Structure 1
């Protein structure tokens, strides 16, 4: 009758029998640590087997073998239950994998004995009588295999790149397929080597085996070594009380800590770089800058070198911290000149490069920036693009970036872009998530929140405004500028914008923001729009953002300043122009002598720019390949921050040679979607539709006629389904 045994131990007895009927045992092995009846770790002798039970098992094993006139080497196998009762399973008539631990504790060569017995020798002649067989110490054997324990012990295949064995006193290796250059195929046993250790006590042999496992270096294929390490350090194994289903019953064994393999990975990376070049997404060629970047020095009006061992403490943030957002906005409005916001730390480089600058490169220039731009309205350094690229391409923590920048520049207000009800995401988020996000952003360093909505939807905008108000930040509610308000045929006219401004003021804002994503705000339109806002709302600061795609950005800013704008966005000269913001140096020169000067030391600005000029060469492999202004932006209206990414995406899709068609398709896609305001995420919808049209050779009319049968991009479908949090 079959019986169920709860958590039994698996005990084996090694036997030798000769042709004269003599049988001896070589004591027992504990083979309880197994998976799916496949032994993983074996121990000899058993650590926690009572002496009387051991003696009974040994006697029964010899009795069974004698009863069948057993000849040669074999193993009698038993199960021992929790009440120390033993049950016979079978006799294995062969040398087993784990025979090594019996050899180690008895000093008897089982393989040689088996051959000699087969040749006719008796146990007496071999000196293998029971009274002369004894044990010394403990032995453990681990089977090192090419298996992945974290993936259900699935076999791993490939080429062994590095193979280094363990060694030392009491360490025995029985080799299999393990050597550098070996190809591990799926057609053979996965065991590479058996590692057997011997010591006088169980604890010493356990530690010796751990040391041996640590010494192994096997690269190129996964092995079970991390799992074996986890097993040997488990309290149950340390006590020696394991049972046959111990591995299956103990999930914590799979909390594995593998080796880092730094050297091999570094060599593989360097080899790949040398042969194949960089595999970083978007990189073309090698950096044009090699060597160490030279850091700038700043001098005061007397020519004395400024000590920048500590960040500058003077700046607009002092007013903000001491008196709050309303006082800050009032001080900005009362300022005589036109302040600047520096976008170099975010929008400028994302508008020119197909990737974003690493945190370390921002922090290296932080202290000089705190001095050179101490009279800056704010520093734009954070937002949706920061989260997107920091996590996808740079593998950095955007929150960590914010904290480090705040410590490095304590005197200049930080500004971020907040996508209304979307936060920094591409679709609408729960209101409480927006509120919590703004509180966290304010706590870690953001001061001014430029809040916008992709379609200028006032309800979506209000969610962000209220969240920033509650967090205690400076509210810069922003209108997204699109089209040409000087063209009477365009729907985005002065009346449209003033209606939005009125609604924003009623909700409550510290600053009015005008965000010209594509750089299509012409100087004449700037005079009309800013002048109209200033006349109606004389006490609220106005902050203008544009891109220099058409090359008219500085002229637009001068018009804005003369019409009453309090702050405009510029970038360091080396990262300005085209799809970036207008040059700070050019604006300073243009405002000189007008009474609207930003009170920024031009020599300090130029010194800072020497750093960015070198850094841009370092990031040259990610350049979008822009060579000059593109006045065609007045037609296609592609936002500056999107244009470089769109060029990169087009090349990835094989449309690089069709860039002219893509720009034209962008214009048509915009019309097909209803001439929408184009800023993340709506600009992505237009871009995806444009690339879809070029890829499939579809005209404006084709899309209209075949709309029901076309498989549009997901972003386009979501746009019409209203899944982006907008009431389309």
Structure 2
């Protein structure tokens, strides 16, 4: 990104904005790349001073997956603005206006551009199929947002459901009602109709549309920039960006994408079944990877069908992070446990649902359009507390001073910046892991991409630019034998011509896999894992009395946590898991004897 940034600053000088943080990018930078998202923002801002930067703000959820205290959202917007974000696309995963109001006010206080956003789902040309999401519904929300004195209206079509005819109807109606309101439309191209839909939006009165460079566009990404720029060239809607400029950027990204080909999910073509399951583009490939990781890769068709069923029984939700995670987790839970939607409705009082599902029905994300399906809500929430208003209003302000003291106790005095406090507040576990990696390995963002992804060959040499005028020349010489007692090896290399040796863990050495006991389905006192995952918390001990449905442990798999409840009331006779254990579906967790 840094290498192409100066060229981008010149080539796209007439663009409305470049998106910096969208979807899960803040989380992914720390979790998978071990890079600081604030540093990335600073470095790109220095290289692109002339184009506004935009980001997604999940209303009261900031850039996280749950609700946070109000002061966290306000401080996040303040710091994001100070580090270079200009335009904040504020949305809520349920179109819950109370959550939107908080995000809008936080951006306004940070002196950012407020782009208040309506998430699009359903089909305004076919209200019989989605009776909640009619044209009047969207116009009413737009009116509410305009009354809040916003700068720009955003339409976020996260699943690519906005067909060309629907685009003309929706955008045309908004433009007629609000002739001076700037309108910004975002879509995904999962079904293959994205280019046509964006051109329809332009013709109906949209001012700004989101596109992706050709080689990074299409399917679950945004529509193709080169196609739209070329299609509009010479018309009254000419973008002013020469097609040759797009070609230049595309050539760079075409080669760069090859470096990450091992992570390509293999989605080769459009998928019009999105109009049935309505899975957001940002979730589609993630859910596919999660399904493969959970052993459900061969049942991807079933996962998509279950997604539609999960959405139905949850009440037909607006589906975008984090509400889409609720539906996705429910879908994978259903497929893993061979449950239909009707099975879930019938057995909800006895099932161990993913934590995201339980918290949604508790009200931690806000209030869905038309309210919750109350019978299902009662069965899932049970005795847990409920929130019937804006979730953040009930949360105590975060004590940033205490958080700083806690983090500096862990990572060293003076090691925590103001922005680190926000990273830790939003993603405590991910931030801890990021800090541990940073302390062990240093700033990994300086390493060339191929080396980050795969090791050097013997006698291969690389250069690492630490700073202006400070460059390391590293040559890999040899690998020492495995130290069987510690699973470590010595690595021999030259640093700027001087011999060096470092002792490293050999991650290729796998511990012996111990066969785990399996729960007997015929024994109602034996609790088996409802799905594959790692044990992250154990909530009972041998000898404890438990009620039916009481939490026994928490499993985590691919960012999906499942609270596993006792199958019956009684006393814990045996506990067969510990924190850190990796379980397969059906592995024995505990045995309970009736009192």
Q: What's 1:641 paired with?
A: 282
Distance 1:628 1:641 in 2: 16
Partner of 1:455: 94
CA distance in 2, matches of 1:425, 1:654: 27
1:159-197 alpha-carbon deviations (Å, 9 max, x no partner) = xxxxxxxxxxxxxxxxxxxxxxxxxxxxxxxxxxxxxxx
- C-alpha distance in 2 between matches for 1:634 and 1:383: 23
Structure 1-normalised TM-score? 0.50
* Matched residue, 1:492: 133
Contact 1:427 1:725 in 2 (8 A): no
Question: How many corresponding residue pairs?
Answer: 367
Question: By how many angstroms is 1:387 displaced?
Answer: 1.9
Tell me by how many angstroms 1:388 deviates: 1.0
How far 1:386 moved relative to its partner?
2.0
For structure 1, which segment, 683-692 or 485-494, has the greater mean C-alpha deviation from structure 2 after superposition?
485-494
Q: Partners of 2:353 and 2:346 in 1: how far apart?
A: 14
**Is 1:675 matched up with 2:334?**
no
Aligned residues of 1:546 and 1:569 also touching (Cα < 8 A): yes
- Max radius of gyration: which structure? 1
Write the distance in 2 (CA, Å) between the matches of 1:711 and 1:724.
Answer: 20
Residue aligning to 2:395: none
Per-residue CA deviations over 1:502-531 (Å, capped at 9, x if unaligned) read 000011210000000000001111001101
1:630 corresponding residue in structure 2? 271
The offset of 1:592, in angstroms, is 2.4
Specify which of 154, 158, 164 is matched with residue 523 of structure 1. 164
For the 8 Å contact 2:94–2:366, the answer to whether it is kept is no
Whole-angstrom CA distance in 1 between matches of 2:168 and 2:234: 20
Corresponding position of 2:197: 556
Which of 622, 631, 652 aligns to 2:293? It is: 652
Which position in structure 2 is the counterpart of 1:607? Answer: 248
Displacement of 1:725 in angstroms is 4.7
Q: Which residue of 2 aligns with 1:619?
A: 260
1:422 and 1:725 in contact (8 A); partners too? no
What does residue 80 of structure 2 align with? 441
| Superimposed CA distance per residue, residues 75-104 of structure 1 (whole angstroms, 9 cap, x where no aligned partner) | xxxxxxxxxxxxxxxxxxxxxxxxxxxxxx
Query: Are the equivalent residues in 2 in contact too, given 1:516–1:546 (CA < 8 A)?
Result: yes
| TM alignment of 1:303-452, pairs within 5 A | 362-383=1-22, 385-452=24-91
Q: What TM-score, normalized by structure 2, do the two folds share?
A: 0.61
Deviation at 1:599, TM superposition (A): 0.7
Separation in 2, partners of 1:390, 1:588: 30
The answer to whether the 8 Å contact 2:219/2:270 transfers is yes
How many angstroms apart in 2 are the aligned matches of 1:637 and 1:597? Answer: 32
Q: Is the 8 A contact 1:486 1:525 kept in 2?
A: yes
**Equivalent residues in 2 for 1:170-249, closer than 5 Å:** none
Contact 2:310 2:341 in 1 (8 A): yes
**Which one of the candidate residues 119, 135, 147 is aligned to 1:480?**
119
Q: Distance in 1 between matches of 2:148 and 2:163?
A: 29
Gaps of 5+ in 2: 368-386, 389-595
Measure the CA separation in 2 of the matches of 1:624 and 1:394: 18
TM-fit CA distance, 1:488: 2.2
Match for 1:464 among 78, 84, 103?
Answer: 103
Provide, for residues 208-244 of structure 1, a one-character-per-residue CA deviation record: whole Å limited to 9, x for no partner. Answer: xxxxxxxxxxxxxxxxxxxxxxxxxxxxxxxxxxxxx
Does the aligned pair in 2 maintain the 1:384–1:425 contact within 8 Å? no
Structure-1 residue corresponding to 2:227: 586
Deviation at 1:593, TM superposition (A): 3.2
SS of 2:50's equivalent in the other structure is: coil
Correspondence list, 1:702-713, <5 A: 702-713=343-354
- Kindly state the Cα deviation for residue 430 of structure 1 after the two structures are TM-superposed: 1.6
CA distance in 2, matches of 1:538, 1:488: 25
SS of 1:460's equivalent in the other structure is helix
Deviations 1:29-55 (A, max 9, x none): xxxxxxxxxxxxxxxxxxxxxxxxxxx
Gapped regions of structure 1 (runs ≥ 5) = 1-361
